[in-house]
Every structure is written in structure tokens, then in C-alpha cells.
Amino acid sequence: MKSKVKIAIIKNMQQQNKQDKFDHLRKEFNSFFYEGFDYEFLTDKLQIQFHFRVDNFVEFHPRVEIPHQSFLHHKHLTKDALDSLIFHIGMVEVISYWKAICPSKLVISDFYLNKEQVSFWKKIYFHGLGEFFYLNGIQTTQEDFMNIECVSRREVKAFSVEVDHGSIIPVGGGKDSVVSLELLKKRDGDNLALIMNPRGASSATANIAGFESKTIIINRFLDSKLLELNDKGYLNGHTPFSALLGFITILSAALAQKKHIALSNESSANEATVVGTDVNHQYSKSFEFETDFRNYVEHFISTDIKYFSLLRPISELQIASLFAKSPQYFYDFKSCNAGSKQNIWCGKCSKCLFTFIILSPFIPPEELKKIYGSNLLEDVELEVFFDELTGKADVKPFECVGTVEEVNVALCLSVALYENQTIPYLLKLFIESDLYNQCQSIDKLDLLKQIEKEHYLEPEFLNILLNKMKNFKTEKY
């Protein structure tokens, strides 16, 4: 019996029914070809280009460039090692282009993947596209959505690389990576930040933490033909970006000869976006993905590089409390995807509302108002997102947001900050709802002290985090 991962077809305003289009495209186009890649170490950068094709219909040639830095080297790596590292980045890039047409077959030219590897990739693709399938109203199974065939018999083999005990810290410009930077910036060892497609917030926060001259830059370029297909109405949707980041950080760690890659994914990322299903916008930030990824890297890439999430033992609420202790970042961090190109808080999306709520118990309302430009809890237009975040709706926002429980706890804690003040509209709705009463029974201090056991932190990193968390024993909330 085929195991069918739950891809719920729950009607909401975000869903469309594109099952017929999905079926039609799969009949019209048979195969997606990963034909190979080229890379060259130029004077000023490493230049990588991938080569994809859908039958005789369209070709894609996306690029990745890594500007040269004094701490990046490649001569200690064999050609086989470099080929493997770059091939794997291409394997994740595949899914961004495959999803436009969804051919039933993926044909790989340069390497052979065994059954274990094929299973790994099908799981990443399928679960990483969970949101894509859900919002497009597509029903399929992990077994049936794609078959992977390999032309080459060249096997992917793990290699050794000499590394020091330094860490690479990916920086996105939000509060999570700020907390990781603050935790590790004084750690013994030569640590490096890493930014993909730099924007104002990511560069500014890395610079404030002291990494201005110690940052790996990754420039990723989509093929414009994909955007043209999107404009023509081909299938489109979310892909597992953090999986791509994962394989790019493995390449970066090998070039920089760093043992550790310290992500900033928290325990909250494990919660499903759609109640009662496996659909998770943050699948490639989940502990399940982290486990699979680490196992794959260890068996098929290198045992010398360790990928883990520094913040996995704690929640979004705890991260917010730690971030609030670093006011030097308040006016430079940004988590808004809608406003990322302008480096602003748009103030009208679910991500803006979530970060405002999760920080509200720890940063005074007037300070938050200055950071965001307004008190978002006063915005009537955000009520739909508010319902999604607090669990009143069955579907959370398709954004990287915390759990329903910690959103409600944050709101409950922030009520006290409005003593003798006018209660904002959304907070008043919360107080008048059953959610507020239910929240009273939760041990809020315990939530702020809780350390999850599911993580891959080595003792050194766990102690750094635990020492920072000790403050919760004396602070009153």
C-alpha cells in the first residue's frame, strides 16, 4: 500500500485548483533533465552555472557566484570533492525549475544516486513542495510525483577535508540570526558570517556584530525564463529555500575549512502550517529535515563538516527575549519578506505582525512603534492574519512564524504593558476571546526557561546557549 503524506485540500482564500493543469503538463512534458554544471575559479569569484532542460521545450541556466575572499580556498579540495559539492547545490536548484511544469521524470546526467539517496531527494522535494501542492490544490503522493533516473554510473562518495573549529553563521537579517551572531561572536575560533543575496538588514546586522570583513557572500541568479513561465501561468509556489542554503553552506565550509555550520532554526519551526496535515512552510527548517540532512552529508559528502541549528533547543518566544537584550540591532534588523527589497517593514503582512507580537512582551510599546512605524496591534486590516497566528483559523500564515501557543502567550504577557493605557484593537479582541482565558493556565515562565532535548548541539555550543538562558531564573515576566 502506498504511503500517502497528508496534503490536505482545505478550502481557504489562498488556495487554487490547479489539479487539471498539473495533470495536463505531466502528459505534455515527460522529463526534466539535470544535464550538468560548469564552475570556474576566476580572479575575483567562483562562478557556477547549472544546466537544466524540460524535453525540447525550454532550457534553464541558473548561476551562483561566490566573490573571492582571503579566507576562501579550493586547492586543498580534489576535483571529485568540488564536483560533488556543486552537484548537490544543483540538485536543490532543480526543484525551483521543475515545479513550473512538474514532469513525472527527473533524469540526472553526471552522478549515480542509490536507493537511499533517491529516497532522500524525493522526500526533500515532496515535503519541501508541501505548500506548493496545497495552495495549488494538487493531490499526489511521494511515490508518484516524480521518478528519478540516473544516466551516469559515477557514484557520490564522501571525502575528507581539513577543518578548524570555526563556525559559519548564515545571516538573514532577522532577529534569529542576530541572536546567533551575539551568542557566537566571542567564541574561540575564527567564525565567519554568510549572507545569500545581501540586503540592507543582513549586511547591517552582520556588520554590527563585527563581521564586516568576515562574511562569505553568495550571489544567486535565477534564470529569467522561469519568471517568463510564471508570467504565462505555469505552476508556481514555495520551494525549500533552507535546503538550498544548507548545501551552499556545506560548499562554503569546505572552501573556508570550517567545521561547524550554525543555523538559527528554532523548535517552533516543527509545527505544521495547516492543522491536521504535514504541510509545513518551514519544512526545510524543521528538526526532521535537519536530521535527514546531517545523515546525508555524513554518508555522502563529508564527516568533517557539522551542520546544526544553534537555536533548535529554544522557541521563537525565547529568541525574542534574547534579541530584546541587544538594542543596537533594533533599527537595522528586518524580517519582512514583502519589504525586503526596500529594506523596510511593510506593516501589512503576517510576518510583520508576528514579529511585532513575539517581541511585544520584551520591548515597550512605544519602542516597538518606532521600530515598525506604527503599533500593528491597532491595525484593523491585520485581523485576518491575527486570527491565523492565534489559531482561530485552521491555517497559519505561509511564513516563518512561531507556534500558535507562543503567539498567544506573547499576547497574554504583553497585556500587562498596557496598564493604564488604551488597549490596541487586536489585543482587545484577544482579551475578549476564549484564547486569553486558556492562556492563563499556561506556565509562562516555564515556557521561557524550557530547553528542548531534540537538537544536535555539541556540549560547547549547548553551554553557550544555556549560560545565556540562565537569566530567565531571575527575571520576572
pLDDT at 271: 78
Instruction: Calculate mean pLDDT across residues 259-278.
Output: 84
Window from 4-8, 37-41, 317-321, 414-418 with minimum mean pLDDT: 4-8
Cell numbers 568540488 correspond to 82
Evaluate whether residue 435 is within a structural domain.
Answer: yes
Coil, strand or helix at 278: coil
Close Cβ partners of 237 (under 8 Å, ≥ 6 residues apart)? 99, 129, 131, 132, 135, 136
Eight-class DSSP state of 473 = G
How does residue 473 score in pLDDT terms, banded at 50, 70 and 90? Answer: very low
Give the mean pLDDT of the chain.
92
How does residue 187 score in pLDDT terms, banded at 50, 70 and 90? Answer: confident
pLDDT at 444: 77
Contact 124, 240 (CB under 8 A): yes
* In the predicted structure, residue 14 carries a pLDDT above the cut 90: no
Phi then psi for 209, rounded to 5 degrees?
-75, -5
pLDDT at 469: 87
* In the predicted structure, residue 8 carries a pLDDT above the cut 80: no
Evaluate whether residue 130 is within a structural domain.
Answer: no
CA dist., res. 413 & res. 411, Å (int): 5
pLDDT tens, residue by residue, 239-264: 999 999 999 999 999 999 999 999 99
Task: List helix spans (H) across 360-476.
Answer: 365-372, 383-390, 404-414, 425-431, 434-439, 444-449, 459-469
Closest CA relative to residue 196, chosen from 215, 180, 209, 212: 215
Instruction: Calculate mean pLDDT across residues 82-94.
Output: 99
Q: Characterize 129-166 residue by residue with b for buried, 16 or more Cβ atoms within 10 angstroms of its Cβ, and e for exposed.
A: bbbbbbbbbbebebeebbebebeeeeebeebebebeeb
Closest CA relative to residue 36, chosen from 24, 16, 23, 50: 50
Q: What is the pTM of this model?
A: 0.93
Beta-carbon neighbour count of residue 332 at 10 Å? 18
Eight-class DSSP state of 216 = E
Burial class (CB in 10 A: 0-12, 13-18, 19+), 320: buried
* In the predicted structure, residue 36 carries a pLDDT above the cut 60: yes
Cell numbers 534579541 correspond to 323
Evaluate whether residue 476 is within a structural domain.
Answer: no
Evaluate whether residue 385 is within a structural domain.
Answer: yes
Cell readout for 13 is 482564500
Instruction: Calculate mean pLDDT across residues 349-365.
Output: 96
Evaluate whether residue 379 is within a structural domain.
Answer: yes
pLDDT at 86: 99
Biggest CA-to-CA distance, the chain: 72
Cell readout for 134 is 496545497
Contact 8, 274 (CB under 8 A): yes
pLDDT at 419: 82
Contact 307, 246 (CB under 8 A): yes
Per-residue DSSP letters for 354-379?
Answer: HHHHHHTTTS-HHHHHHHHSS-GGG-
pLDDT at 395: 84
pLDDT at 188: 67
Evaluate whether residue 58 is within a structural domain.
Answer: no
Evaluate whether residue 145 is within a structural domain.
Answer: no
Close Cβ partners of 79 (under 8 Å, ≥ 6 residues apart)? none
What's the domain range around 426?
A: 334-442
pLDDT at 6: 36
User: How many domains is the chain partitioned into structurally?
Assistant: 1
Q: 41 or 284, which is more confident? A: 41
Contact 97, 60 (CB under 8 A): yes
Evaluate whether residue 314 is within a structural domain.
Answer: no
Instruction: Calculate mean pLDDT across residues 412-436.
Output: 90
Q: What percent of the chain has pLDDT over 70?
A: 95
What is the β-pairing status of strands 45-54 and 164-170? unpaired
Contact 443, 406 (CB under 8 A): no
Eight-class DSSP state of 77 = S
Eight-class DSSP state of 173 = S
pLDDT at 10: 36
Measured at the alpha carbon of residue 227, what is the angle toward residues 223 and 230, in degrees to the nearest 5?
A: 140
pLDDT at 472: 56
Instruction: Calculate mean pLDDT across residues 83-109.
Output: 98
Closest CA relative to residue 472, chosen from 358, 321, 328, 363: 321
CA dist., res. 88 & res. 83, Å (int): 9
pLDDT at 397: 81
How does residue 11 score in pLDDT terms, banded at 50, 70 and 90? Answer: very low
Q: What percent of the chain has pLDDT over 90?
A: 80
